Structure 1
Amino acid sequence: MSVTAPPTVLRRRTGIAAGAVLLALAATGCSGLGRTAVGPVSYTTEKDEVVTVHSPSVKGCHTMDPAGSGKVDNRTMIDMILYTTRDCSGRGTAYVATTFSDTNAPRALPWRSYSFVH
């Protein structure tokens, strides 16, 4: 004698299996998204224009206006490093903790790029 499950049990199992597959697909789809520094980074150009970047990626080097900036506000949730070069390299860096700002001295080189500490 063979025992078969009633139709409601089969539908429930099928629904659970389909839900598990959809959840797995959603999780793998979201894992490809890059992490961001939640919050804005603002800097002032030499023409006194304020540039604001909202939630930039924590990966890589971020360039600023070609002329650079003398004032940077880090309102993100991640610390950042400022560079005087356009490629986030070299000496003369500044560490700016989360929710802090940096203002250059009048004779200092302007900041031209930044990266995040992660």
Structure 2
Amino acid sequence: MSVPASQSPTPTSRRRRRRRTRIVGGAMLLILATTACSSLGRTAVGTISYTIGPETSVKLTSPKVRGCHRLPPAGTTEVYNNTLVDMVMYRTPDCTGKDTTYLGSRLANNTAPRAAPWRSYSFVH
């Protein structure tokens, strides 16, 4: 079965089709590259504030999401999570143990007067 000459694709339509294919292919490569690199160096957008002692406060801007974040050895009893990511507070310096506190995004938490201070935190991601 043959196609009449009047129905065969013209050179300009072939060029348009190839151009569209290249554009779609390039867009797909860009999407794949962006997706593959998106978790590298991802940060918790916003600030985390905590106090050390009666007169010292610390403010961290956009800390990394991955890993365990240590607080000073004395720990802290007040934390304000003004980031877009939830976090878990630990009483140990290495983000282990069962005595944890879940601190949602844009929330604050204080320990009870006789409770041990928090010494580390990690993000829920």
Q: TM-score, normalization: structure 1?
A: 0.74
Is 1:77 the equivalent of 2:70?
Answer: no
- Hey, what does 2:24 align to over in structure 1? 20
Task: Give the CA deviation at 1:12.
Answer: 1.8
Aligned partner of residue 117 in structure 2, secondary structure:
coil
Q: Distance in 1 between matches of 2:87 and 2:61?
A: 14
Q: Does the 8 Å contact 2:43/2:62 carry over to 1? A: no
Q: Distance in 2 between matches of 1:12 and 1:45?
A: 65
Q: Deviations over 1:63-103 (max 9, x none)?
A: 23344222111122333210011221113211212221112
Q: Distance in 2 between matches of 1:49 and 1:103?
A: 14
Residue 53 (structure 1) aligned to one of 35, 55, 61: 61
Q: Does the 8 Å contact 2:45/2:61 carry over to 1? A: no
Percent identical among aligned pairs is: 39
Q: Does the 8 Å contact 1:79/1:95 carry over to 2? A: yes
Unmatched tracts of structure 2, length 5 or more: none
Q: Distance in 2 between matches of 1:94 and 1:62?
A: 15
Opposite residue 6 of structure 1, the aligned amino acid is P
Q: Distance in 2 between matches of 1:100 and 1:115?
A: 15
- Hey, what does 1:10 align to over in structure 2? 14
Unmatched tracts of structure 1, length 5 or more: none
Between the two proteins, the alignment pairs up a number of residues equal to 116
RMSD of aligned alpha carbons: 2.6
Aligned partner of residue 83 in structure 2, secondary structure:
coil
- Which of 1 and 2 has greater Rg? 2
Q: Distance in 2 between matches of 1:62 and 1:10?
A: 57
Q: TM-score, normalization: structure 2?
A: 0.71
Task: Give the CA deviation at 1:55.
Answer: 5.6
